[in-house]
Structure 1
Amino acid sequence: MDPGHANNGPAASDDSTRRAALARDPKSPGSEFSSRPNTCVPRSERKIDQIEVRLGNIESLLRDLSQRPVSTPGSNIQFPVTPAAFPGLDPASTSTAAFDSSDDESVLGGDSVIAQQTTFASDLLEHAVERTSLNDVSPKMWEALANLRQLAELQSRQSISHGPRFPLQQPIPKGGLGQLPMPPMDIVVNLLKRVRASPPGLFTFVCYFIGISDFSNLCRMVYFPTDDFSDSTFIIVNVGLYYLFLEQHHLTVDNKPLKDEFASHLYTSRVNLETALANMSLFLSTKIETVQALLMGTLYTIDVCRPSVAWHLNCAAAQICQTAGFHRRDLSTRNPEETDIKAILFWYTYTTDKALALRLGRAPAIQDWEITIPRTFGFDGILSLETKAVAGTWLNAATLQGQVYEQLFCPAALSQSPAVLAERARLLAAECRRVEADSYQSREMAILSLEKIGASPLVDVHLKGDEVQLLSTMTLIYRAVPAPEGSPTRFCQDCIDTARKAFRAHFVCMDLVRKDPHARAIYVHWNLVLTPFAPFFVLFGYVIETSSQEDLHLLKQFSASIDETSDASETMQKLSRLCNIMSNVAALYVEAKSQQVEDQAMVPIGDEFDVYLSQLGLMPVMDSAMGNAGDPNAEFGENAQVNQMADWMSGNRNLLGLLEQDISQIGGVQWPPM
């Protein structure tokens, strides 16, 4: 096989072509089989001989994959921007941002458990295809193995030192940010007038939650700069315009030229925003305006699914809040007129901090024992009671997320015994159920009030998505509760049931946003990527261990729902590709394992799946020498359960981290649904 075509995977090879080539080349490995007279050799033996040749080619492919670097050529990694989601844009106008990449820095970072698995998996893999002659194996199965291998290679080798990604960033003109082109002023003025006369929508609530009371005046400062305006003002205005045009694009249904015009202005706002964010000073003032700009930048980067960038911005906001004393009762009351807005900004920073910390596996920037102000948002005006109730449940959910990381998944927690972790998980699960009940009441009250005044459906998306986030967090908690002794799976029944419930809630939300790609993208980025969507990985692991057809169907249904969003953004294309790969791997794994029962020659294929899935942290590494490969709960170390959980969490986090990488070489041509 030509090494230059290794990326095509085993499925790209045609058996008849390969056999013909082997027959023509007497020097090819296995050509002695082709040269034997057909009349002298039984048909079954000829078939085995041909399969041995195929195995030699497969082995060469896998070795080539293991030796070939996975990063793009050269010293820089390029991150292209796909403007397809924004009709009417000139692709030539988009930019790419290149960042230096170090080959010495692993995407696994501090996840040493996964790194150790890589060595184990590589050693086992080297012998997996050599042990037994195989029956004809579906090309789809070989493609699945190649995809898994490439995912594992990316996890263990690809550099993460690319820095924050701002692919739309443009050079700053000589006159500063004020010289960047802005959306037409007359259109902005007309839209702001329309917003004031309409029921509250997403733009209104964003300004409400960030404490921006006079957005029109900020726009005047940027459009008619009698004095120099700050970078923070420029960022706030462009994030506001981003949400303004995003909402109008969503609400415009039957007028394609107008919808395309809104998309173009939306893109202009994004370019300005990313240019400003990419050039923010390291040392920022402790003004309220600065925190507002950082928080709005955080909201935007979560919307476009860049959690690592959102972490940088939100941490900067958290540092300013704490330096300025937004979180201390004695300091915040020195200026009573600013007390409420400081509390709003601090608590919004707090909720995002906890979610991002759990998503990225890092300690939160804000610690609960440092806070002395009341745990409430000081909202006034329309829907203040409903909004305050919903925001209160956000606070409770954020506190819970912080406790989940601290008590179950941080390094100190993972040094505890399984019994200690299980007891902590049960207590957290009880608290999560209480938060879920409170959240349901607050959410239904808010949605009912919003429907009465005709609020934008985009607000509903955010509110209903909270249920999915909370169920995902609860699934994560139950992951720390071990299954009963003798169970065929690592996951307790509560974990499986909660994961299924999260899937059903997700399908309901997707029905709400099915008609608009931007709404779909926002929902998925906030509720499936910001908080690690543990239910997918739980049911994936459960299918691998039990061959559950019901849950395999849920995985396929989930992948199909994500596939509907692939037109919304580059990240959604990656997530769709990743989900398709994993759900098809699950289906093919079940097929391979079912064939093993009748055909022992299929055992090496099942073993290869096991190796790759273990390397990805999606199933436990089993030491066959200890004879416990059939029991997912078997003890192969003092803290086997804890090690498995750490592997699983790291694997989930790292797979989601690939959404910020280039995975275009993985997946290839998708096979038809099974």
Structure 2
Amino acid sequence: MESRGENKARPAIARRSCDQCRVRKIGCDRGSPCSNCITAKAKCTHSPVASNAAAPKQRVLISAQYEQKIDDIARDISGIKVMLQKPAELSLPRRDCQSVVGGGGEPRWDHSTHIIDFVKAVLEDGVSRICGPEATAVLSSLKKIVHALDNPAATRHTPTMSQVAPSMPPLDAVLSVLRWAKEHEGLTRIAWVTRILPLQHFTDICRKVYFAVDEYSDVDFILANGYLSYIFSEHVLLFGLETHREYCRICRENVQDAILRLPMLLPTNMEVIAALTIGTFNAVENSNAKAAWRLISAASDLCQTLGYHRLRPRPKGDNGESTKSAEDRLFWTVYAIEKGLSLRLARSSNIRDMEITLPFDPDGPSSVRLGRVSGMIYEQLYSPAGLCQPDHERRDVATALAAAVRALINEAHAEISGCCAASDKDLDPLRVIYLQCDLVTQYSLLALILRATPTAEASVSEGSDDCVVVAREALEIHEQCLKALDGCKNASFMVTKYISCAILYCPFVPFSILFTRAVQLCDVADLARLDRFAISLHRETDTPEGLTHPYRLYQLLCQTARLYCDSAIPGSGDTTVVPRLQESWADFDSAYPGTETGLYDWCHDSHHFFGIVQ
């Protein structure tokens, strides 16, 4: 009997079992054909005998490229562990509000610090000044709105992140609008987007996402969807295609979802800043100012980390000039948005003008110039330091800022006149509407500046006439703008964006100025203006208005103003309201804490603004 060790010397078998016997797992006599196949009348086949010699193993040489990949994987895993261990509040903005245009739950609208404090002032004074069933109902509704604005977590729906792959607009529609955008680079909206990134850069990112030969990042996904949302939006306004409106909604929701996936510590590059800027403007259009502030703060920090705010040599190479120009445009875009949100939320800017050495173009885009003025309004007039400045310094600042805003207003009016007189068929048909939207913001800021101008005597007729005139002009421009919007292919779509970007983006003081004057003098004409403004915000939309919708808020304030005035009408039971108002106005300066000049500081409205109606 042979031992197992002697098998090594056995000669190799020339033929192994036939294929059929091997499949059937039965013994084969290795004949040709074998007996089993003859019995089964099957074709007997023999595959070649495989060599028993094992191929020598090759030594794996790990190159620098593979080592880098292994290190990247290790870092990614570590990053995931850190993210899972961190508290949720440390992450970038969470979706604590639904889209105003789409999404589930009741839509929520943010309002500026000014209007929130103004409503609180109305409530504080109204509780003791007006009475009756109607007054009780109105004040109760205003209290609910203030509670909703002060406690967003109680009214906002926070959905969980979906694990399903995000949907995207169909490729044929995307290709169509990308070609259309390339042929219409001069359109206002498209030109604005190219200040974030060059048009070709956006197109390349869209190609990268749709033809994902290599992996794309969440930043790429944000940029592609953000760009497409604006292009589809512009196309909807010009041609009214409902399918493109739906594609715009899909892209905007994709941006919101992708923002949630961004880590707290982001890479420092131009694309990340652009993605944060896109996310900021998306949040502004969704009326989520606080999320917009966190995003633009991160973008401004990265800009300063990369030195975009400093005068620096241009990179070498063929693309050095264009790269530097693109970085400069991106910085000024971030700058303008950040300054506007700083004023809206009454917060100090993250970008100090004294730190900027990049040349400021006095003839540059109006949005950048207006952003600079917005920053100065808060820093030099309404910040704690600005409120403490002597009268003559504050008056000089207000005069200079008012002149700067008036120059922008004059430019806008001149351009509107030029657009209306032009016969060029290629002229942007939406240009006039966008200019009118800008005018609403500019007039509102001008009113805010004039309201801060110290006067020798605080009186309804002395020193405030110009402010009242500007406030009325702002409401008139608003009415003109809405009439123009009604002519759009998709008016409700545009009106929603207009309310978020023109009425809510900056402190809309024209209403509060005329409200105070109407209550003080029972001015019927100003009351009518306020009513028209509130009614104009009520539009037939696809989503419910919600508790904090501007129409509901301003309508309740108009009702409150009429209740004040009704209480002063002879025969109403109180004939002393108007004299009290006129007497107390003269004492308003001395009653105002922190300033003896009648300076209007919305930060203290909730305690002192409506002291004038005692």
TM-score normalized by structure 2? 0.71
Match of 1:274 in 2: 256
- Whether 1:228 and 2:211 are equivalent positions in the alignment is no
* RMSD across aligned positions (CA): 4.2
Q: Contact between 1:82 and 1:570, CA under 8 Å: does it hold in 2? A: no
Judged with a 3 Å threshold, the aligned counterparts in structure 2 of structure 1 residues 169 and 303 are, in CA distance, closer, same or farther, namely farther
Q: Deviations over 1:95-152 (max 9, x none)?
A: 5699xxxxxxxx999999999989x959x95x879xxxx9xx5x43332233344456
* Structure 2 gaps, min length 5: 1-93, 610-614
Q: Deviations over 1:491-532 (max 9, x none)?
A: 711110111111111111111112411111222211111111
Match of 1:212 in 2: 198
- Whether 1:475 and 2:450 are equivalent positions in the alignment is no
Residue 187 of structure 1: how far off its partner (Å) = 1.9
- Whether 1:523 and 2:498 are equivalent positions in the alignment is yes
- C-alpha separation in 1, matches of 2:182 and 2:585: 64
Residue 235 of structure 1: how far off its partner (Å) = 0.3
Residue 241 of structure 1: how far off its partner (Å) = 1.8
Match of 1:557 in 2: 532
Residue from 549, 569, 583 that aligns with 1:594: 569
Judged with a 3 Å threshold, the aligned counterparts in structure 2 of structure 1 residues 193 and 586 are, in CA distance, closer, same or farther, namely same
Judged with a 3 Å threshold, the aligned counterparts in structure 2 of structure 1 residues 112 and 267 are, in CA distance, closer, same or farther, namely closer
Question: 2:569 aligns to what SS in structure 1?
Answer: helix
Q: Partner amino acid for 1:297? A: G
- Whether 1:283 and 2:265 are equivalent positions in the alignment is yes
- Whether 1:356 and 2:328 are equivalent positions in the alignment is no
Q: Partner amino acid for 1:580? A: Q
Q: Partner amino acid for 1:171? A: S
Judged with a 3 Å threshold, the aligned counterparts in structure 2 of structure 1 residues 237 and 651 are, in CA distance, closer, same or farther, namely farther
Q: Contact between 1:326 and 1:342, CA under 8 Å: does it hold in 2? A: yes
Give the stretch that moved more between structures: 211-220 or 492-501.
Answer: 211-220
Q: Deviations over 1:40-68 (max 9, x none)?
A: xxxxxxxxxxxxxxxxxxxxxxxxxxxxx
Match of 1:341 in 2: 326
- C-alpha separation in 1, matches of 2:242 and 2:116: 48
Residue 568 of structure 1: how far off its partner (Å) = 6.4
Q: Deviations over 1:529-550 (max 9, x none)?
A: 1111111111111111111111
Q: Contact between 1:490 and 1:632, CA under 8 Å: does it hold in 2? A: no
Match of 1:578 in 2: 553
Match of 1:454 in 2: 426
Residue 435 of structure 1: how far off its partner (Å) = 3.7
- C-alpha separation in 1, matches of 2:112 and 2:337: 23
- C-alpha separation in 1, matches of 2:294 and 2:494: 25
Q: Deviations over 1:251-294 (max 9, x none)?
A: 334xxxxx442233222212211100122121112211111111
Residue from 292, 306, 312 that aligns with 1:310: 292
Q: Partner amino acid for 2:562? A: A
Q: Partner amino acid for 1:207? A: V
* Structure 1 gaps, min length 5: 1-76, 87-93, 99-106, 174-178, 254-258, 378-388, 608-621, 655-674
- C-alpha separation in 1, matches of 2:113 and 2:524: 36
Task: Write the mapping of 1:492-507 to structure 2, written as runs, cut at 5 A.
Answer: 492-507=464-479
Residue from 116, 123, 141 that aligns with 2:135: 141
Residue from 259, 281, 304 that aligns with 1:299: 281
Q: Partner amino acid for 2:372? A: T
Match of 2:481 in 1: 509
Match of 1:183 in 2: 169
Task: Write the mapping of 1:238-249 to structure 2, written as runs, cut at 5 A.
Answer: 238-249=225-236
Q: Partner amino acid for 2:502? A: N
Judged with a 3 Å threshold, the aligned counterparts in structure 2 of structure 1 residues 235 and 444 are, in CA distance, closer, same or farther, namely farther
Residue from 389, 396, 402 that aligns with 2:369: 396
Match of 1:11 in 2: none
Match of 2:404 in 1: 431
- C-alpha separation in 1, matches of 2:433 and 2:120: 41
- C-alpha separation in 2, matches of 1:538 and 1:412: 24
Q: Deviations over 1:161-197 (max 9, x none)?
A: 789x896774244xxxxx3221111221223234444
Higher relative contact order (CA 8 A, sep 6+): 2
Residue 572 of structure 1: how far off its partner (Å) = 9.9
Judged with a 3 Å threshold, the aligned counterparts in structure 2 of structure 1 residues 267 and 601 are, in CA distance, closer, same or farther, namely same
- C-alpha separation in 2, matches of 1:78 and 1:298: 13
Q: Contact between 2:116 and 2:146, CA under 8 Å: does it hold in 1? A: no
Match of 1:537 in 2: 512
- C-alpha separation in 1, matches of 2:192 and 2:272: 16
Q: Contact between 1:199 and 1:455, CA under 8 Å: does it hold in 2? A: no
Q: Contact between 1:413 and 1:421, CA under 8 Å: does it hold in 2? A: yes
Judged with a 3 Å threshold, the aligned counterparts in structure 2 of structure 1 residues 145 and 197 are, in CA distance, closer, same or farther, namely closer
Judged with a 3 Å threshold, the aligned counterparts in structure 2 of structure 1 residues 593 and 150 are, in CA distance, closer, same or farther, namely farther
Q: Partner amino acid for 2:590? A: E
Residue 645 of structure 1: how far off its partner (Å) = 2.1
Match of 1:74 in 2: none
Q: Partner amino acid for 1:189? A: L
Residue 426 of structure 1: how far off its partner (Å) = 2.8
Question: 2:256 aligns to what SS in structure 1?
Answer: helix
The structure whose Rg is larger is 2
Question: 1:326 aligns to what SS in structure 2?
Answer: coil
Q: Partner amino acid for 1:146? A: S
- C-alpha separation in 1, matches of 2:554 and 2:113: 23
Question: 2:365 aligns to what SS in structure 1?
Answer: helix
- C-alpha separation in 1, matches of 2:508 and 2:252: 27
Match of 1:171 in 2: 162
Match of 2:57 in 1: none
Q: Contact between 1:168 and 1:270, CA under 8 Å: does it hold in 2? A: no
Residue from 447, 463, 472 that aligns with 2:435: 463
TM-score normalized by structure 1? 0.65
- C-alpha separation in 1, matches of 2:596 and 2:309: 39
Judged with a 3 Å threshold, the aligned counterparts in structure 2 of structure 1 residues 82 and 440 are, in CA distance, closer, same or farther, namely closer
Judged with a 3 Å threshold, the aligned counterparts in structure 2 of structure 1 residues 195 and 540 are, in CA distance, closer, same or farther, namely same
Task: Write the mapping of 1:59-74 to structure 2, written as runs, cut at 5 A.
Answer: none
Q: Partner amino acid for 1:512? A: A
Q: Partner amino acid for 2:369? A: N
Judged with a 3 Å threshold, the aligned counterparts in structure 2 of structure 1 residues 153 and 97 are, in CA distance, closer, same or farther, namely closer
- C-alpha separation in 1, matches of 2:541 and 2:592: 42
Residue 226 of structure 1: how far off its partner (Å) = 1.2
- C-alpha separation in 2, matches of 1:448 and 1:343: 34
Judged with a 3 Å threshold, the aligned counterparts in structure 2 of structure 1 residues 203 and 109 are, in CA distance, closer, same or farther, namely closer
- C-alpha separation in 1, matches of 2:218 and 2:384: 39
Runs of 4+ in 1 over 6 A off after TM superposition: 77-80, 107-118, 446-449
Match of 1:193 in 2: 179
Residue 81 of structure 1: how far off its partner (Å) = 4.7
Q: Partner amino acid for 1:636? A: A
Judged with a 3 Å threshold, the aligned counterparts in structure 2 of structure 1 residues 301 and 324 are, in CA distance, closer, same or farther, namely same
- Whether 1:252 and 2:249 are equivalent positions in the alignment is no
Q: Contact between 1:488 and 1:632, CA under 8 Å: does it hold in 2? A: no
- C-alpha separation in 2, matches of 1:648 and 1:360: 10
- C-alpha separation in 2, matches of 1:116 and 1:560: 22
- C-alpha separation in 2, matches of 1:579 and 1:426: 30
Q: Partner amino acid for 1:274? A: Q
Match of 1:636 in 2: 591
Q: Partner amino acid for 2:498? A: Y
